[in-house]
Amino acid sequence: MEKPLILVTNDDGITAPGLRALIRFMSEIGEVVVVAPDSPQSGMGHAITVDNTLYSSKADIDQTDGALVEYSCSGTPADCVKLALQEILDRKPDICISGINHGSNASINVIYSGTMSAAIEAGIEGVPAIGFSLCDYSWYADFESAKEAIISIVNEALKNKIPKGVVLNVNIPKIDQSLPKGIKICRQARANWKEKFDKRTNPRGKEYYWLTGEFELLDKGEDTDEWALANDYISIVPTQFDLTAHHAIQELNGWDL
């Protein structure tokens, strides 16, 4: 039987350890093609390049002598998926896997995430997609401990098919010297970032700002991704790219418009 074609991408850049680990994991399942940003693109959300040119070139980061088909792209994570589907691949991939992100993309973070936006772009194009994130921002995070779970989730997605119009947002807790307790299907926790700007002045007297802030969890539910992660479970949130607030349509129809 023909192996599944797996498109692999990320937002931390083509040399990121999380991506390199994901490539190894996916190579045990199917035929892997990598199209990833040539530099870090964290927090880019679903940005696309419309006012500049895009460049892409073949890469061989792990020196596989051509055994791995790999391209770097000058654009955003969403650009990478668009380019892969329209220009690089000669057939539609069976699944797109984005990650492994260095840091959480649970709760409100999914809105800002380049990792999840790459997966969502694939979903918009009709390609089943999953975004994986490890709740550890370290460049040298232990991705190997997540291998078994990641492979299991991808195999299940290939076998059972992800529901149409849905992309899976998978977050893996950081656990020292142990494995996650299991996997929970969750809803996105209600949360926000309490933001502030660190205002400074450069040596030439020009003001500049660093965005800082604290994560503010507003949800006490035990069925959320944040609860699962805090209790050492892997969270899977089925995410949709239809942003319509269907529950509000009837109320708005009552307005005198």
Domain encompassing residue 96? 5-188+221-253
From residue 246, give the alpha-carbon distance in Å to each of 109, 160, 242, 251: 22, 27, 10, 10
Residue 212 included in any domain: no
DSSP state of 248: G
10-residue mean pLDDT series, the chain (257 residues): 92 96 97 96 92 94 87 97 96 97 96 97 98 94 93 98 97 86 96 92 95 91 96 97 95 95
Residue 248 lies in a domain: yes
Count the domains in the chain: 1
CATH classification of the domain holding 92: 3.40.1210.10
> What is the number of other CB atoms lying within 10 angstroms of the CB of residue 223?
12
Within a domain: 16: yes
The CA distance from 69 to 153, in Å, is 23
The reported pLDDT for the residue numbered 1 is 63
* Sequence-separated (6 or more) residues with CB below 8 Å from residue 80: 9, 35, 36, 37, 73, 118
Query: What are the angstrom distances between the C-alpha of 10 and each of 91, 114, 151?
Result: 20, 7, 17
What integer pLDDT is reported at residue 66 of this predicted model? Answer: 77
Flag whether 44 is in a domain.
Answer: yes
Question: What is the distance between the alpha carbons of residues 112 and 134, in angstroms, rounded to a whole number?
Answer: 16
Residues making up the annotated binding site for a divalent metal cation are: 11-12, 42, 101
Confirm whether 215 is domain-assigned: no
Q: Is residue 242 assigned to a domain?
A: yes
What is the spatial distance between Cα 103 and Cα 38, in angstroms, rounded to a whole number? 19
Nearest of 148, 83, 151 to residue 122 by alpha carbon: 83
Phi, psi angles (nearest 5°) of residue 51: -120, 20
Burial 117-152 (b: 16+ CB within 10 A, else e): bbbbbbbbbebbbbbbbbbbeeeebebebbeebbee
> Which pLDDT score is estimated for 65?
79
The answer to whether residue 206 is domain-embedded is no
In a domain, 104, yes or no: yes
Answer whether 257's CB lies under 8 Å from 138's CB.
no
**In the prediction, which pLDDT does 63 show?**
86
**What residues form the annotated binding site?**
11-12, 42, 101
